[in-house]
Chain A
């Protein structure tokens, strides 16, 4: 049985206090991932695709960190490296203070059980030849969470937990709708009683009304069992709804990190401003508002712009930005809100930029 962990307290202040006291569950240090590009008859490497280019963050028990960015910014690659589907080119991932790549065999098995993933596409992430019962029970049998005799009962409980009826266990994935399949994906992640769940765009492929069902389900499960989430998404509103903290990513690097509310109310990076402006607001009365819409598309990650990587698309870039790559600087006094833009930083903002960022 999944035993209930300490219920998560609501309210931001509480979680801030917790964060300082608790050990991080997961720590990512200087993570980088490059994919070589090969060419020629005698294949040789002619360049690299930079997927992740030096990312640091900590994830505390019971919290949700949201990762947002356009496609190709490396957010999914981070998730895949944490569940050890891919090895980092550089940097380290520490799980409970221990590097995941240098663990003993049984420790690795335990770690893999504790970190589970929910995938974006509920159509391709379930094996079409296995029934729901098999999909949910095999991992549990492998990890000896239950015996073969207890399995049916356990599967029933999991289905109940994610809001599916227990007589669905004998069906195959194609008999379900998109939202129901995503529930099966969630049940599979829960079956191993993990501590950390990586949600890789779990609602992007779903209808609006079903999105709300899945987001509510994820939130309720977290309240009940104290899961930690890394929530990857490109829909800002969904990420904001579920996350305590958010990191905004662009071409493999964090542009801004901070508490969800703070980040949107008082963005410290022009890219965050642009992302907020891009998402449509369901209110026709504000449709004529002044929006700052990014021109162009995300540059290729083979050839990352020099200086600040966002400067070719930025609306307040200066000569300085073309040559100097900014690092994450604190935006507020407490240091919980960081942004990699010296131009927009209120602690060192200049007057002329004031005009261009006020929207």
Chain B
């Protein structure tokens, strides 16, 4: 089967004060048709930046400086802005964390949805309108024709996110990138949105990339997981394997730091002390080493992402003992 999206050795750099800082370092992953891939990491780990570069939405001072992005056989980096517009929002769409700022406040929901469809397909206004109502119904919004006439600020957070998802589905995308779609929402609404995404994914057979820092959501949604730290991929594994046998010390610590109702409350949570280092592009060797409990001398040497089996990859010198660390 041919992957929907193939990112290979992607490198992204931002220029600030005439200095170039490489924030994404040789990131590779693939998304197969009908698959949910989850990308996990702390804020500043580069998970959003990698997907923004896939969408061609990097800020002006950001540039892809190496690697390739292949979407259904098309090299996205070779396309002009106009050609990219044909794919973006059409067969590849994105849902952002903050729905209020990603919707246009001066147009009604209906106008924005109709515009998207008329731009990407040869529907007339009437057809686009009917389809918009159908989609809003599909994402579980009550009374869709009334919502069409509403402005984004009059809707609640959960409703806005549903509108965003409805809009993303306008042109039957083959890939939906969801960038922390529920971080700003209540747990109850989060559960609703996640169920909705799962249902839509099954119905329409699209692939989803879910960017999140919530491991609970990963466990509920993903087929495969990519863990990012400081601009690099540190581990990649199928979801069951990742939760059962996390191999990288960072993944392990992340899993242990989640409070859980089943855990004994008197045992302190495992926390990863410190923060993601600034200027992590200047570090040679393991970028997690300053927070790692298993640090030793050889960690100062550069380590490549190594494959262990078809879908399992890890970047750690201590991988041979990885299964035994507690």
Interface residues of A (CB under 8 A from B): 10, 70-71, 177-180, 207-213, 215-216, 219-220, 234-238, 240-241, 260-261, 264, 274-285, 287, 291, 293-295, 297-298
Asked whether, in the complex, the Cβ of A179 is within 8 Å of the Cβ of B191, the reply is: no
Assess whether A280 is in contact with B220, with CB atoms less than 8 Å apart: yes
Complex Cα gap A282–B246 (Å): 13
Contacts A210-B275, A298-B186 given; 13 further ones with Cβ under 8 A? Answer: A208-B214, A211-B257, A211-B259, A212-B257, A213-B271, A235-B187, A237-B258, A274-B188, A278-B187, A281-B220, A283-B243, A284-B220, A293-B188
A-side interface mostly: helix
Q: Which residues of B contact A282 (CB under 8 A)?
A: 215-216, 218-219, 243, 255, 258, 260
Tell me which of A180, A208, A278 contacts B190 (CB under 8 A): A278
Q: Which of B69-77, B127-135, B261-269 contacts A (4 or more CB under 8 A)?
A: B261-269
User: 15 A–B contact pairs at CB < 8 A?
Assistant: A179-B275, A207-B213, A216-B269, A220-B268, A234-B186, A236-B261, A237-B258, A241-B263, A276-B261, A280-B214, A280-B217, A285-B243, A287-B219, A293-B192, A294-B192
Q: Give chain A residues whose Cβ lies under 8 Å from the Cβ of B254.
A: 208-209
B243 CB contacts on chain A under 8 angstroms? 282-285
B159 beta carbon closer than 8 Å to chain A: yes
Please indicate which of the listed interface residues B194, B272, B275 has the most CB atoms of chain A within 10 Å of its own CB.
Answer: B275
**A212-B269 in contact (CB<8A):** yes
Q: How far is the CA of A276 from the CA of B260 in the complex (A)?
A: 11
Q: Is B158 an interface residue (CB 8 A)?
A: yes
Q: Which residues of the partner chain A approach B215 to less than 8 Å between Cβ atoms?
A: 208, 282
The CA of A281 and the CA of B272, in the complex, are separated in Å by 21
Q: Which A residues are in CB contact (< 8 Å) with B222?
A: 284
Across the interface, do A241 and B259 meet the contact criterion of CB distance under 8 Å? yes
Residues of chain B lying within 8 A (CB to CB) of residue A260: 265
In the complex, number of A-B residue pairs with CB atoms less than 8 Å apart: 129
* B187–A240 touching, CB < 8 Å: no
Interface residue B102 (Cβ < 8 Å from any Cβ of A): no
* Contacting pair B268 A234 (CB below 8 A): no
Residues 236-261 of B at the A interface (beta carbon under 8 Å): 239-240, 243, 253-255, 257-261
User: In whole angstroms, how far apart are the Cα atoms of A275 and B189 in the complex?
Assistant: 10
B residues with a Cβ closer than 8 A to A are 42-43, 156-159, 186-192, 194-195, 213-222, 239-240, 243, 253-255, 257-261, 263, 265-266, 268-273, 275
Known: A70-B186, A237-B261, A281-B220. A208 touches B192 (CB 8 A): no
- Docked Cα-Cα span, A178 to B276, in Å, equals 12
CB distance from B79 to the nearest CB of A (A): 34
Instruction: In the A-B complex, list the 7 residue pairs whose CB atoms are closest, starting with the nearest.
Output: A280-B216, A212-B257, A212-B271, A241-B259, A212-B269, A278-B191, A209-B272
**Option from B43, B194, B218, B257 in Cβ contact (under 8 Å) with A178:** B43
Least CB distance from A320 to B in Å reads: 24
The answer to whether B219 touches A281, judged by C-beta atoms less than 8 angstroms apart, is yes
**What residues on A are CB-neighbors of B268 within 8 Å?**
216, 219-220
Query: Hey, which chain A residues are within 8 Å of B272, CB to CB?
Result: 209, 212-213
Residue ID in chain A nearest B223 by CB atoms = A284
Closest residue on chain A to residue B216 by CB atoms: A280
Quick check: B188 and A294 within 8 Å, CB to CB? yes
Q: How far is the CA of A252 from the CA of B216 in the complex (A)?
A: 29
Q: How far is the CB of B149 from chain A (nearest CB, A)?
A: 19
Contact at A209–B219, with CB atoms within 8 Å?
no
Whether B219 contacts A275 by the Cβ 8 Å rule is no
In-complex Cβ contact of A70 among B159, B188, B253 (8 A): B188
Among B42, B191, B239, B270, point to the contact of A284 (Cβ < 8 A). Answer: B239
Q: Assess the B216–A281 pair: CB atoms within 8 A.
A: yes
Q: Contact: A10 with B216, CB < 8 Å?
A: no
Residues of chain B contacted by A207 (CB below 8 angstroms): 42-43, 213
Q: Which residue of B lies closest to A176 (CB)?
A: B275
On whether the beta carbons of B260 and A237 are closer than 8 Å, the reply is: yes
Q: Which residues of B contact A280 (CB under 8 A)?
A: 190-191, 194, 214, 216-217, 219-220
Contact assessment for A71 and B186 in the assembled complex, using a CB-CB cutoff below 8 Å: yes
**Chain B residue at smallest Cβ distance from A70:** B186
Contacts of A275 in B (CB 8 A): 187-188
- B216 x A279 contact (CB < 8 A): yes
Which residue on B lies nearest to A214, using beta carbons? B271
Q: In the complex, A102 Cα to B157 Cα: how many Å?
A: 40
B271 to chain A, nearest CB (A): 4
A297:B259 contact, CB within 8 angstroms? no
Contacts of B260 in A (CB 8 A): 237, 281-282
Q: Which of B156, B192, B263 contacts A295 (CB 8 A)?
A: B192
* Contact yes or no, B188 A216, CB < 8 A: no
Chain B: which residue is nearest A295 at the CB level?
A: B192
Q: In whole Å, how far is B232's beta carbon from the nearest beta carbon of chain A?
A: 17
Which residue of the partner chain A has the closest CB to B240? A284
Query: Given B156, B158, B189, B273, which contacts A213 in the complex, CB threshold below 8 Å?
Result: B273
* Cα–Cα, bound, A208→B180 (Å): 13
A71 to B184 Cα, complex, angstroms: 11
Residues of A contacting B190 in the complex (Cβ-Cβ under 8 angstroms): 278, 280
Give every chain A residue within 8 A of B194 (Cβ-Cβ): 280
Expressed in whole angstroms, the Cα–Cα distance for A76 and B166 within the complex equals 32
Chain A residues lying within 8 Å of B259, measured Cβ to Cβ, are: 211-212, 215, 237-238, 240-241
A177 and B216 within 8 A (CB): no
Q: Which of A10, A178, A236, A283 contacts B266 (CB 8 A)?
A: A10
A219 to B194, CA, bound (A): 32
A71 to B158, CA, bound (A): 11
Q: Which one of A180, A208, A276, A285 contacts B240 once the chains associate, using CB atoms below 8 Å? A: A285
